[in-house]
Structure 1
């Protein structure tokens, strides 16, 4: 399990959603903030303007461009850079096929994430990410658009799978394009030593890792490894491991029927009492109470 795939699998809740939207001039649509969601818009046809939040300069978009909102913040699209947006009232999906194609058509999607478990890999992303199309993004968008335009047998299973693939492509593309930096998650994932340790922890969070065994796995001696990991990731190796174990445990308690003792073992605790103490420290309640409340 690579780090990015694991982070998204543990953070995600609910079912991803997608639809087609279309507009004819004059138009200006505001997309409200959605806490606990990651959203995107792909321009399929036309050249709308992106009106970013906070008064940032408008950006002209072209067919194939992607607007990705990692934190669900508000933004707007319009036919003019100086337009005043109104709440979104665009027609979804099949309505686009019942009339001539609108001047602007976008594919939008949203992913629900647990706001209490946001990984720094996602937390550190900017408010709005503007990406130009790539071959893999075009392929995923084309498949998803076809399913939405013409639902068939299996569409209800295909669409969520395509949305998950598209999200991975978006994040992979953004991280690949980041300039070299001395610290941060882009640097941590590029660094072979830190990346090896992260992959090991995510592949088997229940393993009895120590700084020494992680350093050996990453091919470096203990002290240099610990300094390097903390400098790039922002916390010591075992502090990150404990945080991730408690994040995984919360997902298991919420989404599975596993007993507390089973969850404790899966995240590396031989003692249910020790697990409950660590879980309460991270989440503010005992594992059993957390399960009942969520």
Structure 2
């Protein structure tokens, strides 16, 4: 199966929805998330809100209706109706606490996955917490800053309208529906941020170049193939020298350096998730020689494959 880079990262990271909640609350309100997952998707379905990364020193960011915020790295953050609203509640370990640290009663349950007061003038917020897998998940998160905001737009609004219509329903298969709609929102938000950001990932910019974009797709479609710079150039119709120069200029590193980094990412997840031998992992990521693979892996991760595997938490 042929894959572009973003599709491959999302597929291999196996993003899964850990939590989906809707809050419909009249101002003033404020909620702090003390131990967020690696990736949180927040969107304002109605009204407006603000989001602040606590302890970062950055100013709060305003969220208008239809805006989508992506929070990475598991950082403590606060959402509120207004930046000046005092902290009211903190969510820690899945439990709700008052500002003084005492346990608090939960918000009234208005509908499945929906909490708050539901009164006129309320803000409607939706929060989805994603767990991403392994080194590929880390590579996906590295695309984003700690807080990325995607302004409302026609391409995301349709998905958000569908999400708003589905989130409070309680019908057979509802979790599957929500998971797929949220995945759609996440992909659209990632794509929009990469396209509009002043500092998108180099490889994302490179995808718009027909030759280099095709080379990246080839490397992700078959990373274990015994690629050479000349062979890649031939596949896309460029000379070896012209292809190498073009790829390096657009992606920021030579083709085989990029390939090695991607292979080491895949190898790390194979070592983490399977009981395959080092030799089997080496073969799966394109190394006929386990010794050469071990040398490359140690250079990338600071430990041999066997030692790195033993160091993982059990």
Aligned to 2:181: 162
Note if contact 2:71-2:148 (Cα within 8 Å) is conserved in structure 1.
Answer: yes
Shift, 1:83, TM fit: 2.6
Distance 1:37 1:122, change over 3 A: closer
Note if contact 1:211-1:237 (Cα within 8 Å) is conserved in structure 2.
Answer: yes
Distance across 1 between alignment mates of 2:231 and 2:213: 15
Residue 198 (str. 1) matches residue 244 (str. 2) = no
The size of the alignment, in residue pairs, is: 292
Distance 1:110 1:250, change over 3 A: same
Distance across 1 between alignment mates of 2:134 and 2:280: 25
Q: Which runs of 4+ in 1 moved over 6 A?
A: none
Aligned to 1:8: 10
Note the alpha carbon deviations across 1:214-250, whole angstroms, 9 max, x for none. 2222332222322232233222211110110111122
SS of the aligned residue for 2:259 comes to helix
Residue 64 (str. 1) matches residue 83 (str. 2) = no
Shift, 1:147, TM fit: 4.1
Shift, 1:212, TM fit: 0.9
Aligned to 2:31: 29
Aligned to 1:127: 146
Aligned to 2:99: none
SS of the aligned residue for 1:263 comes to helix
When structure 1 is superposed on structure 2, of 110-119 and 275-284 the one drifting more is 110-119
Structure with the larger helix share? 1
Q: TM-score scaled by structure 1?
A: 0.82
Aligned to 1:43: 44
* RMSD of equivalent CA atoms: 3.2
Aligned to 1:223: 241
Distance 1:21 1:168, change over 3 A: same
Shift, 1:52, TM fit: 5.2
Distance 1:211 1:288, change over 3 A: same
Distance 1:163 1:100, change over 3 A: closer
Distance across 2 between alignment mates of 1:55 and 1:279: 37
Distance across 2 between alignment mates of 1:20 and 1:265: 46
Instruction: Give unmatched runs, 5+ long, in structure 1.
Output: none
Note if contact 1:17-1:160 (Cα within 8 Å) is conserved in structure 2.
Answer: no
Aligned to 2:100: none
Aligned to 1:173: 192
Q: TM-score scaled by structure 2?
A: 0.78
Distance 1:84 1:157, change over 3 A: same
Distance across 1 between alignment mates of 2:59 and 2:292: 52
When structure 1 is superposed on structure 2, of 56-65 and 93-102 the one drifting more is 93-102
Distance 1:15 1:251, change over 3 A: farther
Note the alpha carbon deviations across 1:125-146, whole angstroms, 9 max, x for none. 3332222233442333344444
Note if contact 1:33-1:73 (Cα within 8 Å) is conserved in structure 2.
Answer: yes
Distance across 1 between alignment mates of 2:142 and 2:113: 36
